[in-house]
Amino acid sequence: MLGQTIQLAFAAIFRNTMRSFLTVLGIVIGVAAVIAMVTVGQGSSAQVTADVEKLGTNVLMVMPGANDRGPGSDVTAQPFTLGDAETIAEELSFVAAAAPTASRSLTVVYGNTNHRTTVTGTDNSYLTGAEWPVVMGREFSTAEISGGKTVCVIGETIRQTFFGNTSPLGETLRLKNVTCEVIGVLEVKGASSFGTDQDDLILMPIKAFHRRVAGNSDVSMIYVAVKDGTIIDKAMRDIEVLMRDVRRISDGEVDDFSVMSMEQIAGILTGITNVLTGLLSAVAAVSLLVGGIGIMNIMLVSVTERTREIGIRLAVGAQASQVLMQFLVEAVVLSLLGGIIGIVLGLILAAVASNLMSIGFAPDPLVILMAFVFSAVVGVIFGYFPARSAARLDPIQALRHE
């Protein structure tokens, strides 16, 4: 009997194709929006993780400020010094390199061209730790590092912006009041997961940065690269213990610095992506609700419009429960059709968007299943009320209805 009821429902739906289509439009848009949001969101989460892994899972970051406030939020925390980075490199056997860094955003001038970029003071261990080779020219020499000479290693974006097809080596950039000779160009890294250009940077020896750019000797972050096979958690604890000692933090006091692994950073970034995805999906879900109300509205109109049909069905021997089932199944079939169209549409949208944002296209079968089930539930909930009013009709009144 259910099979026949479903047949009847399909017959009724295709008897008025245009109206059926308009009825399910709300569901189609709602489901498509949710599917597209979630799929794109998950794609970018996966991309963040992949990007961070590309940076090297063996890299830890040590920065001033407590962990629970997020990186750099505790401005009163005492900054690190060059000595701290040296201590880490010397005291801990698992450390491959410890690079002190300090950064500023500055406008760089070459000839007639201006460009705002990040200038970072550091040393060669930064390049080692990030596994980021110089592809043109050379790294800093020992003399340049210890003497604080104003020489620069530039990212690919800087090279393109200022030099185009000519060689940048030996040219002089002006940053603030400092002139700086270009000695090397870094390998292309591309955009990060959030679209920031990782090649848009200038490196200089940290002593030169301190003296000529910053005017102080603060180290805002120490990149620590650990040797292969090191247990990250233990390395993080060891660095913490060492730094507490160096910074003279007594037992019972909380750290005024934090040690983070790339995994944790990936976690934070993924968390942000997930919150955004969740918010957008919630907005999309509201449109699903509106779609459901649309179905109820049309089904109610349909009951009034089809009063005579219901009367005929009752007269030829349909029971109230059968009329109820017919209208309910019709609503469910309608919203399921809408759901299926919405899923397909949403996946297409997500595929196009993923392609444009150059992130992975990662459809989630669970989300698709949920969208399917949800549209069935919408059909049952919003179809029940109209179906019940159809089933309650008096056959005599229904037959007289004009």
Partner 1 sequence: MKGASATPLLELRAITKIYGHGDAEVRALRGVDLSIFSGEFVAIMGPSGSGKSTAMNVLGCLDTPTDGQFLFNGVEVGTLNQDQRALLRRHYLGFVFQGYNLLARTTALENVELPLIYKGLSRDERFVLASQALAKVGLAERAHHDPSELSGGQQQRVAIARALASKPQVILADEPTGNLDSKRSREIMELLTELNRDEGLTIVMVTHEDDMAAYADRVIWFVDGAVEYDGSHAGLKQAKRGI
The DSSP-derived string for 69-105 is G-TT--TTSPPB-HHHHHHHHHH-TTEEEEEEEEEEE
Residue closer to partner 1 by CB (options 224, 318) is 318
Residue from 244, 309, 372, 389 in contact with partner 1 (CB under 8 A): 309
Give which of 331, 316, 299, 298 is closest to 399, Cα–Cα. Answer: 316
Among 304, 319, 355, 358, interactor with partner 1 by CB under 8 A: 319
Q: How far is the CB of 314 from partner 1 (least distance, A)?
A: 7
From the list 58-66, 144-152, 249-257, 393-401, the region that binds partner 1 by CB under 8 A is 393-401
Count of residues in contact with partner 1, rule CB under 8 A: 23
- For 182: left if phi > 0, alpha if psi spans -120 to 50, otherwise beta; the answer is beta
402 vs 397: CA distance, rounded Å: 10
Residue number with CB closer to partner 1 (181 or 309): 309
Residues 119 and 104: their CA atoms lie apart, in Å, by 5
| Binding string, residues 111-130; x marks residues near partner 1 by CB under 8 A | --------------------
| Contact window for partner 1 (CB under 8 A) among 18-26, 291-299, 305-313, 382-390 | 305-313
The answer to the question of residue 318 lying near partner 1 (CB under 8 A) is: yes
Q: Is there a contact between 206 and 100 (Cβ–Cβ < 8 Å)? A: yes
d(CA 66, CA 75): 10
Instruction: Kindly state the smallest distance separating residue 329's Cβ from partner 1, in Å.
Output: 14
User: Residue 281 carries which side chain, given as an amino acid letter?
Assistant: S
Interface residues for partner 1 in 8-47 (CB under 8 A)? 8, 11, 15-16
Q: Which listed residue (56, 71, 363, 395) binds partner 1 by CB under 8 A?
A: 395
Q: Count Cβ atoms within 10 A of the Cβ of residue 133 and give its class: 0-12 exposed, 13-18 middle, 19 or more buried.
A: exposed
Instruction: Say whether residue 267 binds partner 1 (CB under 8 A).
Output: no
CB atoms within 10 A of CB 388: 15
CA distance 118 to 104: 6
Per residue, what are the HEC states of 142-169?
Answer: HHHHHHCCCEEEECHHHHHHHHCCCCCC
* Interface with partner 1, residue 320, by CB under 8 A: yes
* Beta pairing partners, 106: 117
Antiparallel, parallel or unpaired: β 221-226 and 172-175: unpaired
Phi, psi (degrees; rounded to nearest 5) at 175: -125, 120
4 binds partner 1 (CB under 8 A): yes
Q: Which residues pair with 182 in a beta bridge?
A: 152
Site membership for partner 1, residue 6 (CB under 8 A): no
Asked if residue 313 binds partner 1 (CB under 8 A), the reply is yes
Q: Is 231 in the site for partner 1 (CB under 8 A)?
A: no
Task: Among 282, 290, 348, 396, indicate the residue that binds partner 1 (CB under 8 A).
Answer: 396
Work out which of 184, 311, 339, 383 binds partner 1, going by CB under 8 A. Answer: 311
Distance CA 84, CA 154 (A): 26
For residue 7 the two structure tokens come to 């047949």
CB of residue 1 vs partner 1: minimum separation in angstroms? 6
Question: Does the protein bind partner 1 through residue 314 (CB under 8 A)?
Answer: yes
Does the footprint of partner 1 cover residue 268 (CB under 8 A)? no
Which part of the chain contacts partner 1 (CB under 8 A), choosing from 109-117, 243-251, 252-260, 314-322? 314-322
Q: Return the number of the residue (91 or 309) whose C-beta is nearest partner 1.
A: 309
H or E segment to which residue 260 belongs: strand 257-261
Nearest-approach distance from CB 336 to partner 1, in angstroms: 22
265 in contact with partner 1 (CB under 8 A): no
Residue 141 binds partner 1 (CB under 8 A)? no
Among 218, 155, 154, smallest CA distance to 180 is for 154
Tell the smallest beta-carbon distance from residue 395 to partner 1 (Å).
Answer: 5
What is the residue whose two structure tokens read 């997500």? Answer: 350
Least distance in angstroms from the C-beta of 316 to partner 1: 4
**Interface residues toward partner 1, by CB under 8 A:** 1, 4, 8, 11, 15-16, 308-309, 311-322, 395-396, 399
